[in-house]
Amino acid sequence: MPDAGRRSVMAFDFGLRRIGVATGQEMLGTGQPLAMIPAENGKPDWSRIEKLLTEWQPDLVLVGLPLNMDGSESDMCGRSRKFGKRIHGRFHVPVEMVDERLTSYEAKGEVMAAGGSRDFGRHGVDDRAAVLILETWCRLQSE
């Protein structure tokens, strides 16, 4: 396993219609948007995920866990966990779940502040949320 501070990380913001993807380095603590993968009722195009994993070869995959504000599990938590387990099972890469409370809300605010429209599906909210998941995880690692 590579030095913990030098790990390459890929983050997924799981959704029923789209799955945002970001990549980054733990040492830098920042991520960059990579892709938005269409999903049909939460079922992604696994070949696209495989292509990204093969190309970027992350040491670790993060999947956002959409907890409620009180820390309890939302209805989507089970689906997000299942998605993470499938990534691990199919591609044999370590997967960690990351609390993603408010990442989509924050991402929408960033898109609007940058002059984007409310048509969030076309303006990078899901991949931006994945960046926020990655950066949240990095902050927690440095504490």
Q: What is the DSSP letter of 67?
A: B
Compute the distance between CA of residue 49 and CA of residue 42 in angstroms, rounded to an integer. 13
Q: What is the pLDDT of residues 58-99, one digit of tens each?
A: 999 999 999 888 888 888 999 999 999 999 999 999 999 999
Compute the distance between CA of residue 43 and CA of residue 15 in angstroms, rounded to an integer. 9
State residue 60's pLDDT score.
Answer: 97
Tokens standing for residue 21? 């993807």
State residue 57's pLDDT score.
Answer: 96
**Radius of gyration in angstroms for the set of CA atoms belonging to the chain, rounded to a whole number:** 14
State residue 101's pLDDT score.
Answer: 77
Tokens standing for residue 131? 């960046």
Q: What is the residue whose two structure tokens read 């070949």?
A: 47
State residue 124's pLDDT score.
Answer: 65
Compute the distance between CA of residue 66 and CA of residue 76 in angstroms, rounded to an integer. 6
Compute the distance between CA of residue 71 and CA of residue 47 in angstroms, rounded to an integer. 33
The low-confidence residues of the chain, meaning pLDDT below 50, are 1, 105, 107, 111-112, 117-123
State residue 122's pLDDT score.
Answer: 47
Q: Which domains does the chain have, with CATH numbers?
A: 4-142 (3.30.420.140)
Spell out the residues 6+ positions from residue 106 whose beta carbon is closer than 8 angstroms to its own: 129, 132
State residue 110's pLDDT score.
Answer: 53
Q: What separation in angstroms does the CA of 57 have from each of 49, 53, 79, 81, 98?
A: 11, 5, 24, 21, 20
State residue 17's pLDDT score.
Answer: 92
